[in-house]
Amino acid sequence: MERPVFRFAPSPTGRLHRGHAFSALTARRAADAAGGLFRLRIEDIDRVRCRPEFEAGILEDLAWLGLAWDGPVLRQSERGEAYAAALARLEGDGLAYRCFRTRREVAEAMTRAPHGEEPVFFGQRLAAGEEAARLDAGEAFAWRLDVRTAAARAGPLGFLETGAGPAGETGRRSVAPEAAGDIVLARKDIGVAYHLAVVVDDAFQGVTHVVRGCDLFGATSVQRLLQHLLGLPEPVYRHHRLLVGPDGKRYAKRDQAETLQAIRARGLSPDQLIAELELD
Ligand code: GLU
């Protein structure tokens, strides 16, 4: 039997904090319990926000935690061709369109999707003449998924949740990808975007089990749709709780959460930190 494959996929946009340690250790332990492999992927598609020193910091912090991974580290910044091929397939299937709107124009056109909590954007392919004129004029564009056409063509889809979403969602779940609107497949500046890169790379790395924070539970619907459209295998999902700090708020880079580097510097041992994390 093939060994199950788990992964940790941090973005090197800052130093890791306790929430990352919790996530990485949860995934590593799940891999060990299943006799599986544990892959590391550096999600560095955003060339402005990601920095090599943060990647080095991730590797250093994981080593300090005693966390080893199997096989080479995969860097998304080196995977442009694979993303372009996936995008070309969606485009060839008539499911992706060029969107020339500015951020502000997108925000102004947002509407609430059925079952959606947040206003989202639905657009459409421009008429051929207008599109050609805008391309000739050198206007920048993003690629977006025509989610309604894609979902209709795919038919009902689901995924298996073995952890829980933010509202306790668990078990076999049906997807509602329209709630995300016409997600960006490729950003204007970097030629790819989060959802497309994740599904292409989870398949490339042979990931069978996605273990990650429940803040990404909502992303699973559209990722499951993309897997189906691209003929990629369906992993099992386990979304875990998010750690909260003493103030009751979840750890986040933007809130200047104490980094593992700082925790190490004040003399806490990895075992002490791991005990504090109260892994599930
Ligand atoms: N790179 C994402 C993050 O750091 C995680 C992506 C995923 O686990 O699917 O939040």
> Which CATH number goes with the domain that contains 65?
3.40.50.620
Q: What is the model's pLDDT at position 254?
A: 62
Note whether residue 274 is domain-resident: yes
- Whole-number pLDDT of residue 42: 98
Pocket of ligand 1 (CB under 6 A): 9-11, 43, 198, 212, 216
**What residues contact 106, with CB distance under 8 A and at least 6 apart?**
99, 121
110, 34: one domain: no
CATH number, domain of 183, equals 3.90.800.10
Is residue 26 domain-shared with residue 107, that is, in the same domain?
A: no
User: Does residue 112 share a domain with residue 93?
Assistant: yes
Mean pLDDT by 10 residues, the chain (280 residues): 94 95 98 98 95 97 97 98 98 98 95 83 96 97 98 98 97 96 96 97 98 97 98 98 84 78 96 94
pTM listed for this prediction: 0.96
Q: Which atom of ligand 1 is nearest to the CA of 8?
A: 8
Q: Which residue, by CA, sits nearest to atom 6 of ligand 1?
A: 9
Cα 51 to ligand 1 centre (Å): 16
Residue that terminates a domain, selected from 149, 175, 203 = 203
**Residues making up the chain, counted from first to last:** 280
48 and 84, same domain (yes or no)? no
182 and 124 together in one domain: yes
Distance 129 CA to ligand 1 centre (A): 39
Q: Which atom of ligand 1 is nearest to the CA of 23?
A: 8
Q: Please tell me whether residues 74 and 85 are part of one structural domain.
A: no
CA separation for the pair 170, 161 (Å, rounded): 5
Same domain, 157 and 129: yes
Residue 146 lies in a domain: yes
User: Domain span at residue 111?
Assistant: 80-203
Nearest residue by C-alpha to atom 2 in ligand 1:
10
Q: Identify which of 167, 123, 171 has the alpha carbon closest to the alpha carbon of residue 149.
A: 123
DSSP state string for 143-207: EEE-HHHHHHHH-S-EEEESS--TT---EEEE--GGGG-S-EEE-TTTS--HHHHHHHHHHHTT-
Atom of ligand 1 nearest to the CA of 202: 9
